[in-house]
């Protein structure tokens, strides 16, 4: 099983996900998209599985800090993709890629169900 966890290391939710994976014996590659960036193909693959409104964190400070015109321009997966690539911190974290299956966010029960 190939597991990649995308996020930023100082995010509390990412920390919880990393801890859960380690405590349950799942080795995951961590991809810090602030430092390592995010490839268009990777983000596009996420959007093929997950609705853009799930991936774009409209409750976060990054979204709230965007000008209203920039927020209003995000209306579909294409415009969300452009925003996610230009401002990775707008992406809801963490994004877990488990053998190509994408999950967004972290909840103990959610991860437990994935690794049954």
Q: Does domain 3-114 have CATH number 3.40.1390.10?
A: no
Task: Please report where in the chains the tokens 């965007």 appear, as a residue.
Answer: 66
> Catalytic pick from 3, 11, 45, 50?
11
Task: Give dist(CA 28, CA 21) in Å, integer.
Answer: 7
Task: Give dist(CA 96, CA 5) in Å, integer.
Answer: 5
Model pLDDT, residue 1: 85
SS3 helix, strand, coil % of the chain, rounded to 5?
A: 50, 15, 35
Q: Is the pLDDT confidence value at 44 over 80? A: yes
Answer whether 32's CB lies under 8 Å from 9's CB.
yes
11 is catalytic: yes
Model pLDDT, residue 50: 97
Model pLDDT, residue 59: 95
Tokens of residue 72, six digits: 């209003």
Q: Is the pLDDT confidence value at 21 over 80? A: yes
Average of per-residue pLDDT across 14-22: 97
Model pLDDT, residue 116: 75
Model confidence pLDDT, tens digit, residues 59-116: 999 999 999 999 999 999 999 999 999 999 999 999 999 999 999 999 999 999 998 7
Model pLDDT, residue 115: 85
Round the average pLDDT of the chain to a whole number and report it. 96
Q: What is the DSSP letter of 87?
A: -
Reported as a pLDDT band with limits 50, 70 and 90, residue 15 is very high
Domain range summary for the chain, segments of one domain joined by +: 3-114
């Amino acid at each position: 099983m190939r597991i990649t966890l995308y996020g930023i290391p100082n995010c509390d939710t990412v920390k919880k996900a990393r801890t859960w994976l380690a405590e349950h014996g799942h080795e995951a590659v961590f991809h810090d998209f602030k430092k390592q960036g995010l490839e268009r193909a990777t983000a596009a693959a996420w959007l093929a599985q997950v609705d853009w409104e799930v991936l774009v964190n409209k409750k976060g400070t990054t979204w709230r800090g965007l000008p209203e015109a920039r927020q209003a321009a995000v209306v579909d997966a294409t415009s969300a993709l452009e925003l996610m690539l230009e401002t990775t911190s707008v992406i809801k974290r963490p994004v877990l890629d488990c053998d190509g299956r994408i999950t967004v966010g972290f909840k103990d029960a959610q991860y437990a169900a994935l690794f049954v």
